[in-house]
């Protein structure tokens, strides 16, 4: 087992552990903070995959904008920060209720995971390791060129810009509130 693999396994452990905390912890503000940890682990994976630009974008956009937006939303809906209905009876009944409500999603998730792992391990070509990066390939320059060159991805790039603008206007309009 090489150093790469050990780093990957630690990183995978970090991502999976913190994402399980995201979906199971009771306090929403803690869930949002665990999401930051999971997103940071994914950024480390991008760095391992030699996609440095995406690692930086992951930290800036996901952690810097999206996760902070989540924390703001949790604080603006403060009354509901605990993710359950106000209990009609004691905490014991409520935790039983949580257990009964979530066994079906857990079963479904485990089934889909088992199916996916079976499919992935059944393809022997997927077990290969990566070739070394070709000499003299500047991926950042290639990415920038690909995003603006007409015979590559300029159209999806512009569509994404229009989508972001529409989402900006829509979010401001919906959240402004006093537009009756």
Partner 1 sequence: MSIPLNWYLILAAALFCIGMFGVLSRKNAIAILLGVELMLNAVNINLVAFWRYLDPAKMAGQVFAIIVFAVAAAEVAVGLALIISVYRRRKTVVADEIDLMKW
CA distance 62 to 36: 8
Residue 44 interacts with partner 1 (CB under 8 A): yes or no: no
Look at the block and give the residue holding tokens 């682990």.
41
38-66: b or e for each residue (b if 16 or more CB lie within 10 Å)? bbbbbbbbbbeeebeebbeebbeebbeee
Residue nearer to partner 1 on the CB measure, 90 or 135: 135
Sole binder of partner 1 in the list 10, 16, 87, 158 (CB under 8 A): 16
Distances (CA, A) of 141 to 98, 144, 163: 50, 5, 25
Number of Cβ atoms within 10 Å of the Cβ of 25? 15
Q: What do you get for the CA distance between the two ends of the chain, in Å? A: 63
46 with 58: CB under 8 angstroms?
Answer: yes
Q: What is the DSSP letter of 151?
A: T
Our CB check for partner 1 shows the closer of 92 and 176 to be: 176
Q: Does 36 bind partner 1 (CB under 8 A)?
A: no
Task: Establish if 10 lies at the interface with partner 1 (CB under 8 A).
Answer: no
Identify which of residues 96 and 143 has a Cβ nearer to partner 1 in the complex.
143
Site for partner 1 in 105-164 (CB under 8 A): 105-106, 108-110, 112-113, 116-117, 120-121, 123, 126-134, 137, 139, 142-143, 146-147, 152-153, 156-157, 160-161, 163-164
Among 30, 37, 45, 158, binds partner 1 (CB under 8 A): 45
* Position 19 contacts partner 1 (CB under 8 A): yes
Q: Using the rule CB under 8 A, which residue among 10, 56, 65, 96 binds partner 1?
A: 65
Asked if 175 is part of the footprint of partner 1 (rule: CB under 8 A), the reply reads yes
Q: Kindly identify the residues of this chain, within the stretch 66-85, that bind partner 1 according to CB under 8 A.
A: 66, 69-70, 72-74, 76-77, 79-80, 83-85
Q: Give the Å distances, CA to CA, from 73 to 81, 93, 179.
A: 10, 29, 20
């Amino acid at each position: 087992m090489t150093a790469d693999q050990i780093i990957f396994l630690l990183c995978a452990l970090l991502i999976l552990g913190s994402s399980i905390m995201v979906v199971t912890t009771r306090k929403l503000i803690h869930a949002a903070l665990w999401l930051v940890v999971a997103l940071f682990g994914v950024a480390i994976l991008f760095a391992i995959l030699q996609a440095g630009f995406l690692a930086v974008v992951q930290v800036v956009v996901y952690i810097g904008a999206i996760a902070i937006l989540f924390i703001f939303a949790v604080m603006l809906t403060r009354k509901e920060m605990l993710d359950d209905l106000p209990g009609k009876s004691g905490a014991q009944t409520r935790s039983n209720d949580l257990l009964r409500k979530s066994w079906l999603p857990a079963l479904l998730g485990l089934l889909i995971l088992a199916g996916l792992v079976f499919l992935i391990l059944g393809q022997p070509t997927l077990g290969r390791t990566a070739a070394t990066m070709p000499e003299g390939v500047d991926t950042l320059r290639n990415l920038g060129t690909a995003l603006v060159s007409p015979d590559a991805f300029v159209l999806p790039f512009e569509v994404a810009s229009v989508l972001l603008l529409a989402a900006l206007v829509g979010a401001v309009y919906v959240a402004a509130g006093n537009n009756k």
